[in-house]
Each structure stands twice: as C-alpha cells, then as structure tokens.
Amino acid sequence: MTLLSLLAFSLASAHSQSPAAPGPPPPPLAVTRLGSKDAYGAGIVAVQDDAILVELSRAAHVILVRVDGDGSIQPVFPTPGDTSNALPAGRHIVGIVGLQPNWSGPVPAAPSYEPVVRSADALARQGRTARPSATGDDDPLARRAAVAHWLLVVADVSTSAEDVETLLSSMSRDFSSMKAELEAVAQALTKRRTHLWSAFYAPVRTP
C-alpha cells in the first residue's frame, strides 16, 4: 500500500467513526424549599460556583445570598447599584456579578426537593431562628463538614441591598448547624415584611 493510499484509508476511517456519546446528565439538584410551597414556581433549578439558575412562575422580588461553610454570609443580589430586585416570570441567571446573560454549567432535568416542606407558620412555631437545637444531632447537615450554600428568597416586597444588610446585621449569628443558619436567614429577610414568600437553598457546586 502506497503512502498516499494509506493516508486516504486513515482519513476515511476517521470520518466513519461515530461521534462520542454524550456524557450522563447531571444528577438532580437537591433543593430545600421553605415558606409557600408553590407560589413562585421551581425557584433554584441549577447551581454553579458563582451563580444560580432561577425559574419563576410569576413576577417577584428576589434576594440571593451565599452562606459559606464557616457561617459567613455574603449578600449577592440585589447589589447597591440595582434600582430594583424585581424579576419577571421565566428563567434568570443570578450570581456574583449580578444578572448574567449566559449559563455555563449543566442543568439537571428537574430539581429534587426535600420531601418535607415547612410553611412560614411552621417555622415560626418551631422557633428555629431564636432556639436552634443545642447540638444539631437531628440535622443531617451537622453530621458532616459544612459546605457553602446558595439561599434564594422570593417574595412580594421590594428589598434593596441596604435593606438586606440591615436585616442581616440585626439577626443572631449563633447557630448549631448550617441548616439552622439557612432557615434563620430566610426568616430574617421575610419576617413581618412579606405576605407571600418562598425560600430555596442548595449546596454550591464547584467546578
């Protein structure tokens, strides 16, 4: 076989190979939902290190914070430069640099919600904000090293970046677990301010 015919055979073989099969879809995102069960839609549908993908079934005012593994709270949206935290129905990318045009991470087919959905009244009755459990032994998140979480609050009341800072600075910072802190932050951002709200939290996925 000549060099020319060998080259032609190699090219033909390369073109005849089928493209690589796509990888498996990402696993369902584990999302915990608080407050109203279905007032605003799916909420968080995908996460990555610097942003979340939000799906709203109706227009709403949104707040996004990141709670790191050491318990520190980073307000993300709205920023001081935002004139409003209102978003229309649909999908939106919200993250460290504000509202973003493109989503670079995988999107699960559907989020997997925690089976027990606590209403706002149930959270208030349990008193989790003021009286977290002493040891956190009943909290599955407390039995392993805490990881950073995104917390999305969706409500019917406008909230500025200054409002978020004021509300967070006035709350207690003594928590027994990541779960207790996330629920307390959601309460601090909604208590006695809103008539209808939902909150969603999910662990941050790093690249």
Q: What's 193's DSSP letter? A: T
Q: Residues 45-70: pLDDT tens digits?
A: 999 889 999 999 999 999 999 999 99
Kindly compute the dihedral angle of the four CA atoms of residues 173, 179, 183, 186, in this order, to the nearest 10 degrees: 80
pTM metric for this prediction: 0.72
Determine, yes or no, domain membership for 75.
Answer: yes
Determine, yes or no, domain membership for 4.
Answer: no
How far apart are alpha carbons 60 and 85 in whole angstroms? 8
Q: Residues 146-185: pLDDT tens digits?
A: 689 999 999 999 999 999 999 999 888 788 899 999 999 9
Determine, yes or no, domain membership for 102.
Answer: yes
How many domains, in total, are found in the chain? 1
Residues contacting residue 128 through CB under 8 Å, at least 6 positions apart? 180, 183, 184, 187
How far apart are alpha carbons 178 and 118 in whole angstroms? 16
Both tokens of residue 147?
């990881």
Determine, yes or no, domain membership for 9.
Answer: no
Residue pair 132/180 in contact (Cβ under 8 Å)? The answer is yes
Nearest to 54 by CA among 166, 202, 205: 202
CA atoms within 13 A on the CB side of 169: 6
Determine, yes or no, domain membership for 51.
Answer: yes
Residue 15 confidence (pLDDT) above 70: no
Both tokens of residue 56?
């709203």
Q: Tokens 């910072």 — which residue? A: 173
Domain that holds residue 155: 27-203
**pLDDT number for residue 60:** 97
Determine, yes or no, domain membership for 163.
Answer: yes
> pLDDT band for position 201 (50/70/90)?
very high
